[in-house]
Amino acid sequence: MDCRTDRDAILGALELAQDVAQKRGTIPVLQCVLLDAAASAVTVHATDQEVGVRQRVTAVTKRKGSAALNARKLYECVRALPEGEVAMAIEGAKMVIVGGKRTFKLPVLDARDFPAMPQAPAAQVTVPAATLAGMLKRTMFTCDEGDDRTYAHGVQFEPGEGLRLIATDGKRMSIANGDSPGVAQSALVPKKGLGSAVKMLEATEERCGIAVADGMIYFAADGTELSMRLLEGEFPDWRQVIRDKSALTLTIGAAVLLDAMKGVALMTQATRSVKMALSANRLVVSAETADVGDAHDELECEYAGADLEIGVSARYMIDALGVLDGEARVELGFEDAVSPIVLAVAGEPGFRHVIMPIRI
C-alpha cells in the first residue's frame, strides 16, 4: 500500500472512525481502522461489531493494498501533521506516514483479521442531512444507557408518512417530526452510534439515505456509510403520554429560561429539583436546599392562566432547552401540579418534549 491524500480529508474520516472503534478490549483489531487503498481513493473502515463506518477519501495510489492500524494513534498522528498532502506507505511491518517534514511510523496488523462489515442496501428513504441531524440532537439526549430497560438506550424511528423520532427514559420523552418520508419499519437505534451519525450528517449538505434491513439500520451520505445493529425490545406507547392541548400555557424565551435554570440549579443537590411558580405574566424559578442555600429568579413571560406551583428536575429542563436555538421561544403546557409538562417550540409543531413533574 502506497498512497497520497489530503490531510484534512483523511483526518475527518479518521475522526469518525476512531469514535466507532473500540477504545479497549480483548480483540486488538477492533481498536483499529482498516485502510484500503484503491486506484483513486482510500477507504477508511472501523467497527466495534455493533456500529460500523466506511468512508471513501479521494487519493492518488501508487500501490494498492490494505492495513489495519490503531485508530486513536493514527488519528493523533495525522492530526499532528501540517496541512497539505499526506503520504502513507507500508514498509515491512510498519506504516510510514509523512506530512511536510514530519514522519511517523506505526505498527500494522494483518488486514485479513479485520472483521467483514455489512454492505448497505439501497436507501429506502432520503432526508436532508441537516434535518436529520437536528432531529437526532433533539431526541437522543433523552436516552439513558444506564437504565435496565432496553427502550431507554436508543431512539425509535417510527414508520409512517413522515419521519418521526422518539426517545424516552421513563421520566421524560422527546418527539421530533420531519416532513421527509418515514422509514418502512420500526427501528430502535442505539444512542452510542447516533453521536457518530450527527457528526457524519453535519459534515455534508447533501441528503442522507436511510435503510432498515435484517436487524440493522444504515445511513449513507457524501461517500460515508454508517451501520448500526438495532436494539431488541418493545417501545412504549408514547401516544398515551402526549397531550394535543394543555389547559395552561406559558411562553418564554428558551435562552432566558435556560439561564435561569442553570443559575437556580446551583442551589440543588442530587435530585436537582426546582420549583416553578406561575402567575400572570410572571414565572419564578426557585430552589431551597438545607446546608447548600437558596436561589430565586423572577422572569417575565406570557401567561394568563391560574396561579400554579410545580416541581421539576432542573437537569431535565436544561437538557431540553440546551438543544434549542437560543432565539427560540418555548411554550410550556401544564394541566396541574402532578401532570406531565409538555415543552414545545413556538411556531415549530414538529418538536415536543414531555417531563414528569416532581412533588414539592
Ordered strands of the 187-190 beta sheet: 187-190, 154-158, 164-168, 172-177, 348-355, 341-345, 329-334, 248-253
The predicted structure's pLDDT at residue 228: 97
In a domain, 239, yes or no: no
DSSP-derived 3-state class of residue 220: strand
If asked whether residues 319 and 297 sit together in one domain, one would say yes
C-alpha cell at 30: 477492533
Helix or strand holding residue 315 (H, E): helix 314-322
Domain that holds residue 92: 2-113
Does residue 360 lie within any of the structural domains?
no
pLDDT of residue 119: 86
> Are 189 and 166 members of one domain?
yes
In this prediction, the residues of the chain whose per-residue pLDDT falls under 50 are: none
Residues 129 and 104 in one domain: no
Predicted pLDDT of residue 356: 95
Residue 146: predicted pLDDT = 86
Strand (E) or helix (H) holding 46: strand 41-47
pLDDT, tens digit, for every residue of 129-184?
A: 999 999 999 999 999 988 889 999 999 999 888 899 999 999 999 999 998 888 88
Please, what sign has the CA dihedral across residues 92, 89, 107, 197? Answer: negative
Domain match, 85 and 30 both? yes
Looking at residue 292, its pLDDT comes to 87
What pLDDT was estimated at residue 24? 86
Q: Are residues 349 and 261 in the same domain?
A: yes
Task: Specify the pLDDT at position 239.
Answer: 84
Q: Report CA-CA distances (Å) from 188 to 145, 172, 191.
A: 13, 17, 9
What total number of domains does the chain contain?
A: 3
Residues 157 and 191 in one domain: yes
Same domain, 229 and 129: yes
pLDDT of res. 147? 87
Q: Is residue 314 a part of any domain in this protein? A: yes
pLDDT in tens, 69-87: 999 999 999 999 999 999 9
pTM of the shown model: 0.91
Give me the CATH number covering residue 278: 3.10.150.10
Report the candidate in 173, 97, 180 with the shortest Cα–Cα distance to residue 131. Answer: 180
